[in-house]
Structure 1
Amino acid sequence: MRNDLRIGVAGYGLRRSLALEAHRPGNGSRVVALCDPDPAARERARAEIGPDLQDTSDFGELLTDDVDAVMILTPDHTHVELAVAALKAGKTTLVEKPLAVTVEDCDLILRTARDHGTRLYVGHNMRHMPVVRTMRQLIMDGAIGEVKAVWCRHFVGHGGDYYFKDWHADRRNTTGLLLQKGAHDIDVIHWLAGARTTRVTGMGGLTVYGQVTDRSEGLPTDWFSPATNWPPLAQHGLNPVVDVEDLSMVHMRLENGVHASYEQCHYTPDYWRNYTVIGTAGRLENFGDHGEHAVVRVWNSGRRDYDPVGDLQVPVTAGTGGHGGADEGLISEFVRFAVEGGPTDTSPVAARDSIAAGVYATESLRDGSTPREVPPVSPDLAAYFAAGQI
């Protein structure tokens, strides 16, 4: 239908699920064009989206009058060039997280959106994850008082398969996995605590996968096989370049005085995130981050010894689709924003702030854990995006 938002997609790889989520013919949006340099990816897109899909290897061909909005789902280091081109062309643009891999590139994207008056949206889908929204609502309802500390442990159980066999393993493409994976969680920490990071100290290293000597130019046929790729030192077919950390952590001081920490490990047997938020009148913690048994527990009725249950248990009700319904929520918000403008739960400035914390934490990690001050976005850009993108 002509009334559907017509979307052009750049990249049909790891995050093609977002393109499929956005293809809702007759229900507000449809994917009408795809750019990907890989002919096999374009063929797969036509098979999954439909034979009428226009496909190309030239990103410029997405920026025509036949396309209303652009979704950039390409590898991280390509985001800045594509986003700037789309914004200059006046296309409402969704950039998958992370916004970019340097602070300078993030600021360039923000300035381009402002200077051309083009709507910019960043794919921080965790702000739409039921577990995160449950925790945020409990905090806003005063369940634990004023937030004073946030801790996040990120167990990346499939890290050896997902992040050390392709472009992610090369720091030229990501800066590092503390940024690439951590951008999600740092953004959530900021959202739950209500402030950005101003000072960081990082620590970590390539502690396991650097010992794996089997390398490959392409993914092996059984690249994702928990049965054969365990324990982690049994991994094979890693990227020829592996110079990112598989274990990393950062301590953060936020602008409002909250203290936070984030830990990430890519060789755990389980795959989930665990948040603890401590306030002046209690604490909360999630157990599981999606699935039927996920729950957020609150302790707020007074002191006690070990108590595995807590005073309040809130089941996490997952939606349909990817990431427990987060992808559906993200795309619905993006389509509404592209058509109408107005406030969104995601924030381009917050996306930039999560990158800034990750970049400077990675610098600290690689420089003997020396502390780093994290600069804010320029006041003019902060004011522009705070006013909303009409």
Structure 2
Amino acid sequence: ADLYDLPDDHCFASAEELAAQPKFADFVINGTMDHQHVSTALPLLAAGYDMLLEKPFAVSEEEMWQLVRTAEEHQRTVAICHVLRFAPFYTAIRQKVLDGAIGEILNVQAVEHVSYHHHVVGYVRGKWNSKEKCFSPMLMAKCCHDLDLIAWMKSGVAPVRVASFGSNMQFRPEKAPAGAGQRCLVDCEIEADCLYSARKHYIDHPDRWAFYVWDALQQEGQSNAPKKHYTELTLEEKVAWLKDDNPYGRCVWHCDNDVVDHQSVAIEFADGATATLNMVGGAAKPSRSIHLIGTTGEIQGNLEDSRFVIRHIDPRAGHEYSEEVIDLTIGGDMTGAFGGHGGGDLRLMADFVQLINGEAPSIATTTLADSVNGHLIGFRADVAMEEGRVVAIGRGQ
């Protein structure tokens, strides 16, 4: 409230308390934690608010359909924060698909390599490290972006079956190196040489994950959190907190993490097309890539490069294929991958405002109904992985 100078009568303890007031805003941006999305959305939709809702927008199929029904019942617009649709890289690829550049899609290959420091701060030491804490498995917490992109590229064609394999393989107590302690800066004999030392990740790189490691814990009121703002903390105070009860000071092999660190998903669509998603946590270099193979050509690219290639078969003597490079970095920020999520964050906000104002949806607009297939794939993929079987995907409510 102090940060944004909000008056007391615009501060509420719950979504229900807000919903009980006369409607005073055009829409709500719901950025709560995963397991709170639906419970906070329902009363606000019933109160007449349209909503921009963070993803994953539900943590179970039951919740998902409850949200869909409520939005339909109250005729509310709900858009989902699948911001990567709005990254110029993915928007341009989708437009090429719509233009028929590669014919009918036969196969989609999506890959996300989560960097070692991102994986550790979010899914080993952090608040997404356990389904019990955030109610979302890593596939949905980290890769519902990618599942949505796959479903979007095949928009209009339903996914029908999914198989999946994965495990929590690396950061387990039995795999801790000799000399590893419980806390990096307290009882670890190998901290100086450890790739995952809390000192190296959060002291030597003070800004990389500052919000999670310092600011968010203070906002949550952690018992031993220093009282002054994290930007005012001295080096000694940060070290002392990591030694004490700051969860980011824990040894990565002795955390309470139970989510996968890698997972592969194979999907079949109603038209016979297939898709795969490979998510790997702990990569040296973070990256997101996509490869679409169609009946007349293919598109391949990497989000971080903001560049993709279109290839077509060329059967002429001395040739094999033609290649066109689409470089989105040339045009600057209007077309290039600048800003959060490859340039998608601000574009998503602009698109949502246009949608609320009654303008025609863009090709990237992510309505609630259009987001269901990607979430269904994710929910059923985890069932497939846990039960070791191929799982059918239906849309029954």
Same fold (TM over 0.5): yes
2:371 corresponds to 1:351: yes
After superposition, the C-alpha distances for 1:270-313 in whole angstroms (9 at most, x for unaligned) are: 111110000111211013x14xx421011114269xx9x96100
Distance 1:313 1:342, change over 3 A: closer
Deviation at 1:108, TM superposition (A): 0.2
Of residues 123, 138, 153, the one that matches 1:163 is 123
Equivalent positions of 1:225-244 (< 5 A) are 236-237=250-251, 240-244=255-259
Counterparts of 1:196 and 1:215 in 2: how far apart (Å)? 47
Q: CA RMSD in A?
A: 3.0
**Count of residues in correspondence between the two structures:** 320
2:140 aligns with 179
- TM-superposed CA distance for 1:223, in Å, is 5.5
**1:237 Cα deviation (Å)?**
4.8
Instruction: Give the aligned partner of residue 98 of structure 1.
Output: 56
Preserved CA contact (<8 Å) 2:150 2:374: no
| Seq. identity, % | 24
AA aligned opposite 1:136: R
From the superposition, tell whether residues 51 and 78 of structure 1 become closer, same or farther in structure 2 (CA, over 3 Å): closer
Residues 270-309 of structure 1 mapped to structure 2, 5 A cutoff = 270-287=285-302, 289-290=303-304, 293-302=305-314
Pairing of 1:308-387 with structure 2 (within 5 A)? 311-316=323-328, 317-318=335-336, 320-340=338-358, 343=361, 345-368=365-388, 370-378=389-397
Q: Secondary structure at the match of 1:161?
A: helix
- Runs in 1 of length 4+ with deviation above 6 angstroms? 225-229
Aligned to 2:13: 57
The answer to whether the 8 Å contact 1:196/1:350 transfers is no
Kept after mapping to 2: 8 A contact 1:80/1:100: yes
Could you tell me which residue of structure 1 aligns to residue 228 of structure 2?
Answer: none
SS at match of 2:32: coil
Gaps of 5+ in 2: 185-197, 209-247, 329-334
Measured after TM superposition, the shift of residue 267 of structure 1 is 0.5
Q: Indicate if the aligned counterparts of 1:160 and 1:209 stay in contact, CA closer than 8 A.
A: no
Q: State the one-letter code of the partner of 1:278.
A: I
Unaligned runs of 5+ in 1: 1-41, 379-390
Which position in structure 1 is the counterpart of 2:162?
A: 200
Ranked by relative contact order (alpha carbons within 8 Å, sequence separation 6 or more), the top structure is: 2
Counterpart of 1:269 in structure 2 is 284
Structure 1 equivalent of residue 41 of structure 2: 83
Task: Say whether the 8 Å CA contact 1:299–1:312 is kept in structure 2.
Answer: yes
Between the aligned partners of 1:252 and 1:319, the Cα distance in structure 2 is 28
Whichever residue aligns with residue 103 of structure 2, its letter is G
SS in 2 for 1:109: helix
Output one character per residue of 1:330-350: Cα deviation in whole Å (capped at 9) or x when no partner.
111212222327545212123
Q: Is the 8 A contact 1:249 1:263 kept in 2?
A: yes
* Distance in 1 separating the partners of 2:326 and 2:107: 21
Q: Which amino acid aligns with 1:171?
A: K
- TM-score of the pair, normalised by structure 2: 0.73
The separation in 1 between residues aligned to 2:283 and 2:170, in whole angstroms, is 11
State the secondary structure of the residue aligned to 2:383. helix
Q: d(CA) in 2 for partners of 1:300 and 1:225?
A: 49
Any conservation in 2 of the 1:353–1:377 contact (CA below 8 Å)? no
How many angstroms apart in 1 are the aligned matches of 2:296 and 2:171? Answer: 42
Query: Which residue pairs with 1:22 in the alignment?
Result: none
Question: Following TM superposition, by how much is the alpha carbon of 1:202 offset from its aligned partner in structure 2, in angstroms?
Answer: 0.5
Closer, same or farther in 2 for the Cα pair 1:270/1:320, shift >3 Å? closer
Q: Is the 8 A contact 2:124 2:255 kept in 1?
A: no
- Aligned residue for 1:336, secondary structure, equals helix
Q: Is the 8 A contact 1:99 1:352 kept in 2?
A: no
Question: With structure 1 as the length reference, what TM-score do the two structures score?
Answer: 0.74
